[in-house]
Amino acid sequence: MKNFISGRGFRVFAFVAIVALFVLAPLVSTPFLNYQLSLIAVFGVAILGLNIIMGYGGQVSLGQSAFLGLGAYVAAYGIMHDWPILVVFILSCAIPAVVGMLIALAAARLHGLALAMITIALPIVGVPLAKRFSEFTGGAQGATVSWLRAPDWSGLASDQWRYYVVFIIAAVFFVIGRNLTKGRIGRALAIVKTNEAVAMSMGVSAYRYKVLAFTVASLFGGAAGFLYVAIVQFTSPETMSFHSSINMVVAMVIGGSASIIGTILGAAYLVFLPVIAGQIDPTQTALISGAVLLAVLFLLPHGLVSLPRRVSQLSKRSKRSLGRPTEDSSPQNSTAQEVVDIPESPK
């Protein structure tokens, strides 16, 4: 049985089954569920972008929501002015990408904390700017756009049509993201993440790759903004908020950073947790969310994606005879020999 599960055939089978599930789901589910699933695709793209700079690239970014919001505003503006949808899409990706690139060009030489602070500044500056420039953005009330209705020939309802459009676009981005991270760029980022000085000595310019990663992350963020407007049909300054950026970082780590599947799991967490917490007790959503988050981090510090690995680890340990000289009770610590009470020197 174990061989069957880890075998190649099973993986292909699982992949096909999941794809089929995603393709058929909207035909049988409620509009609300389709909406939720579509949001997973939207935030999946955004979190994938975040993963590229933060999970794979090792640079903390707390400003991803600013790019999502910017892309959403570009999309809303373009739709409202009846620009061709393809043009709107390209601009929703390109404008945030350019902004991200300019910021990275100026700031990528900074060390981690300073750059993180600059990413924090983006949503903080962005929200009041969005409120101020109300001719473009609709001000504090936001911009509503009604579009992407299902064409008659499809025989689908609008929520189903939007689901498919968004999923196809998201799938394309995931393929691009996967190829980027598995390829040369991904390897270079991994080296930069581990040790910038070593990267330099290998001819890998940390600066250049950080700018590249940041630009890609912003592009993905902008695309997610376009998809967001497609599903939600609305955007407002809240979309750019710092709070939203934090949620995406949390989702990334919970799902599993530096992992494509982890990104999807993280997006699912982001979308479904508030719903579930709201069901349990609407006045205590924060309390429940916080508790769940900490619980996941304690049990699965490498994210939900590490669940199968962790389960097999635990089952192996209980099978082994007890009384081994060193018990690794702190799964974080790769240096198993150190006595657990005392952390490594802060870097």
Nearer to other proteins among residue 44 and residue 303 (C-beta): 303
Q: Least distance in Å: CB of 343 to other proteins?
A: 4
Main-chain dihedrals φ then ψ at residue 7, nearest 5 degrees: -75, 160
Q: What is the DSSP letter of 338?
A: S
Nearer to other proteins among residue 158 and residue 338 (C-beta): 338
Nearer to other proteins among residue 154 and residue 284 (C-beta): 284
Main-chain dihedrals φ then ψ at residue 144, nearest 5 degrees: -105, 135
Nearest by Cα to 115 from 214, 230, 2: 214
Nearer to other proteins among residue 26 and residue 266 (C-beta): 266
The whole-angstrom separation of Cα 293 and Cα 139 is 34
Nearer to other proteins among residue 6 and residue 201 (C-beta): 201
Q: Least distance in Å: CB of 203 to other proteins?
A: 15
Inter-residue contact 150 to 158 (CB < 8 Å): yes
Collect all residues with Cβ–Cβ distance below 8 Å to 138 and sequence separation of at least 6: 76, 144, 236
Collect all residues with Cβ–Cβ distance below 8 Å to 123 and sequence separation of at least 6: 62, 63, 65, 66, 69, 240, 241, 242, 244, 245
* E-strand stretches of 238-301: none
Q: Least distance in Å: CB of 337 to other proteins?
A: 5
Q: Least distance in Å: CB of 94 to other proteins?
A: 23
Helix crossing, 260-280 with 31-50: angle to 10°? Answer: 130
Q: Which two tokens stand for residue 265?
A: 């799991």
Q: Least distance in Å: CB of 106 to other proteins?
A: 5
For residue 144, what are the β-bridge partners?
Answer: 234
* CA 65 to chain CA centroid, nearest Å: 10
Q: Least distance in Å: CB of 181 to other proteins?
A: 16
Nearer to other proteins among residue 131 and residue 178 (C-beta): 131
Cα angle vertex 340, ends 339, 345, to 5°? 90
The whole-angstrom separation of Cα 42 and Cα 36 is 10
Nearest by Cα to 73 from 8, 134, 153: 134
Q: Least distance in Å: CB of 124 to other proteins?
A: 5
Main-chain dihedrals φ then ψ at residue 47, nearest 5 degrees: -70, -30
The whole-angstrom separation of Cα 271 and Cα 13 is 27
Inter-residue contact 99 to 70 (CB < 8 Å): yes
Q: Least distance in Å: CB of 299 to other proteins?
A: 12
Nearer to other proteins among residue 23 and residue 125 (C-beta): 125
Collect all residues with Cβ–Cβ distance below 8 Å to 76 and sequence separation of at least 6: 137, 138, 143, 145, 229, 235
Nearer to other proteins among residue 3 and residue 283 (C-beta): 283
Q: Least distance in Å: CB of 126 to other proteins?
A: 9
Binding site for other proteins (CB under 8 A): 54-55, 58, 60, 106-107, 109-114, 116-118, 120-121, 124-125, 128-129, 131-132, 195-198, 201, 242, 246, 249-250, 253-254, 257, 283-291, 293-294, 297-298, 301, 324-328, 330, 332-333, 336-339, 341-347
Nearer to other proteins among residue 66 and residue 93 (C-beta): 66
